[in-house]
């Protein structure tokens, strides 16, 4: 009876070394510990360039490498059929630059959100609506600032926090935030596009 190796390829794996091994891009399992250790140390590729780049591969290439290393192994693929190796050159951590970028993005997001809210309030004439509600309910003209504006501002902030399910390092529940969902969808679309483009270029039918 042949030896079995269970293989689960990651859709995308970030690496920082030019020598890429199977353990860097996949999870492996076998009841034969010797086989498992040998397969983990199997070299998948050597990054040919010094620049950051993404490389697309197929599970068939991995199966072929495993068969060359040990013809008696039966491979059971439990993961992706195509995978991406994202090579990033090793570099020292730049915490200051990371903080600068974070603060810059936060300022852009804050300013953009504030501008969107203000333009919506202006287009919907929210201040006029509040004055009319105040007059109808209390029978008096509203001043410059009333309890309606205060409750609206507090409710808007609470609504944003509840919607995004996140405040500082605390999460209201275990569900992913809408931003996390959108980022995962964006990442999935990027990976699918890279894989599809690679296949189309090999077939000489790429639109570019």
pLDDT tens digits for range 112-161:
888 888 888 888 888 888 787 877 777 777 777 777 888 888 888 888 77
Between vectors from CA 82 to CA 44 and to CA 4, what angle results, nearest 5°? 65
> How many structural domains are present in the chain?
2
Taking the complete model, does pTM exceed 0.75, yes or no? no
**pLDDT at res. 205:** 54
**pLDDT at res. 100:** 92
**pLDDT at res. 110:** 84
CATH number for 48: 2.60.480.10
Sheet holding 73-77, edge to edge: 26-29, 3-9, 73-77
Last residue of a domain, one of 56, 87, 118: 87
Q: Is residue 37 part of a domain?
A: yes
- Alpha helices by DSSP H, listed for the chain, are 22-25, 33-40, 59-69, 95-123, 126-138, 147-164, 178-202
Give the three-class secondary structure for 46.
strand
> Which pairing describes strands 73-77 and 12-15: parallel, antiparallel, or unpaired?
unpaired
Length of the chain in residues, anyone? 208
**pLDDT at res. 23:** 93
Range of 70's domain?
Answer: 3-87
Give backbone dihedrals phi and psi of 8, rounded to 5 degrees, phi first. Answer: -130, 100
Q: Which has more pLDDT, 180 or 193?
A: 193
Tokens at 97, concatenated: 């630059």
State pLDDT tens for residues 30-83.
Answer: 998 999 999 999 999 999 988 899 999 999 999 999 999 988 899 998 988 899
100 and 63 both lie in a single domain = no
Rounded to the nearest integer, the mean pLDDT of the chain is 84
99 and 194 both lie in a single domain = yes
**pLDDT at res. 46:** 92
């Amino acid at each position: 009876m042949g030896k079995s190796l269970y293989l689960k390829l990651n859709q995308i794996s970030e690496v920082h070394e030019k020598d890429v091994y199977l353990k860097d891009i996949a999870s492996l399992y076998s009841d034969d510990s010797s086989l498992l250790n040998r397969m983990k140390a199997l070299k998948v590729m050597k990054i040919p360039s010094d620049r950051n780049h993404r490389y697309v591969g197929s599970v068939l290439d991995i199966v072929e490498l495993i068969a060359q290393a040990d013809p008696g192994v039966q491979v059971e693929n439990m993961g992706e059929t195509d995978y991406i190796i994202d090579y990033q050159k090793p570099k020292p951590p730049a915490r200051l630059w990371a903080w600068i970028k974070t603060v810059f993005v936060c300022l852009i997001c804050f300013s953009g959100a504030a501008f969107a809210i203000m333009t919506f309030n202006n287009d919907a004439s929210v201040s006029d609506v509040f004055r009319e509600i105040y007059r109808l309910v209390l029978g008096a003209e509203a001043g410059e600032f009333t309890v309606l504006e205060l409750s609206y501002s507090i409710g808007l902030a609470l609504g944003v926090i509840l919607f995004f399910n996140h405040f500082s390092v605390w999460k209201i529940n275990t569900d992913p935030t809408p931003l996390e969902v959108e980022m995962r969808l964006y990442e999935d679309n990027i990976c699918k596009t890279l894989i599809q483009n690679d296949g189309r270029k090999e077939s000489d039918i790429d639109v570019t």
